[in-house]
Amino acid sequence: MAPALWPCVSRILWLACLLPLAPAGVAAELLVGNLVVTQNSSLPWPSSYLAKTVLKISFLLHDPSNFFKTASFLYSWDFGDGTQMVTGDAMVYYNYPIIGNFTVKLKVVAEWEQATLDAGKSITQKTGDFSASLKLHETLQGIQVSGPTQIESFQKMTVTLNFLGSPPLTVCWRLKHECLPLEEGECHPVPVANTAYNLTHVFRDPGDYCFSIRAENVISKTHQYHRIQVWPSSMQPAVFAFPCATIITMILALIMYVSLRNAHQKDVAENPEPPTGVKCCCQMCCGPFLLETPSEYLEVVREHHRLLPPLYKSVKTYTV
């Protein structure tokens, strides 16, 4: 270590020993100032910064009259993630390796010598405690999609999305026939708190489809696509089997009825007067259906059965 650094180092160590307990004759008062946190990649949200990117943290002392121009300062930093350090500089650089919410705490001690009335010297000390809240985020580097690329219709499909970066606040997806970016308001966003998310869908129609996926958090957004080919199902759902069978049965019954009707009409046209026996049998068996009234049917029966009594008995009249 260079000899010129020894006085500075010894001064810092001496002030560090004074932090827990101030010596007698020290008048402790509060300092006025604030912490300023800056980063090269500024974000539009308050107190939000990028993780894995260097932060510049500075303490600005409020001393318009240069009262502390001869004072020595000691800064004790606590970055809220278990890291602590003591410096003699009011500015430090720190890189948070993980995302999350952190609070930076700083304790400042200012000391200087002041002459007393008895020609002696005393140490005057002032302290101050300051803090700043930080929200560390990470940009979304992309989306990894795991899922089938071919499937049959009416089968349930599951696609797993793995987000590279901070968990997104929302995920939005939609099925299209072409892989095109999603426009604003084109799909309904779903809140997601983890780095993985499962999509489920059942395809009813065969064809070529594309999952258009958009994920975003408070600092970035990313898109990804997943193509899938849907084939016709080898086994249709049972819910469609019964209606189809019913319709087919009705169609076959209609065809049979029309065929038999046409055959019967053709026989009637070719043989208008069937044989006597056939005519009698037809008249006897089918008379009530072929004749218009019951009386006509009875006349036909009486005609072919002479032994039957007449339909109406004769009525004798007498004159007195």
Residue 109 lies in a domain: yes
Whether 66 and 18 share a structural domain: yes
pLDDT at 150: 93
Whether 305 and 193 share a structural domain: no
* Cα 81 from chain centroid (whole Å): 32
CA dihedral 21, 23, 25, 27 (to 10 degrees): -30
Total number of domains in the chain: 3
Tokens of 124: 């005057």
Whether 277 and 207 share a structural domain: no
Residue 241 lies in a domain: no
Residue 242 lies in a domain: no
Q: What is the pLDDT along the chain (320 residues), one digit of tens a residue?
A: 444 444 444 554 444 444 444 443 334 468 999 999 998 866 666 788 888 889 999 999 999 999 898 899 999 999 999 999 999 999 999 999 888 899 999 999 999 888 776 767 788 889 999 999 998 888 888 899 999 999 999 999 999 999 987 777 789 999 988 999 888 888 888 999 888 999 899 999 999 999 999 998 877 889 999 999 999 987 655 545 566 778 888 898 888 888 887 776 766 566 655 544 444 444 444 444 444 455 655 565 565 555 445 545 555 555 65
Whether 150 and 213 share a structural domain: yes
Residue 267 lies in a domain: no
Residue 3 lies in a domain: no
Whether 147 and 112 share a structural domain: no
Whether 108 and 148 share a structural domain: no
Identify the CATH number of the domain in which residue 189 sits: 2.60.40.2950
Query: Across-strand partners of 50?
Result: 137
CA dihedral 115, 117, 119, 122 (to 10 degrees): -40
pLDDT at 235: 60
Whether 20 and 85 share a structural domain: yes
The Cα–Cα gap between 226 and 208 comes to: 11
Note down the domain range covering 30: 8-137
Domain final position from 166, 199, 231: 231
Whether 165 and 214 share a structural domain: yes
Residue 264 lies in a domain: no
Whether 156 and 133 share a structural domain: no
Residue 255 lies in a domain: no
Residue 207 lies in a domain: yes
Whether 118 and 103 share a structural domain: yes
Closest CA to 114 of 31, 30, 27: 27
Domain final position from 137, 153, 184: 137
Whether 132 and 157 share a structural domain: no
Phi and psi of 49, rounded to 5°?
Answer: -140, 165
Domain final position from 82, 102, 137: 137
The Cα–Cα gap between 270 and 267 comes to: 5
Planar angle of CA 131, 136, 137, nearest 5 degrees: 165
Whether 130 and 165 share a structural domain: no
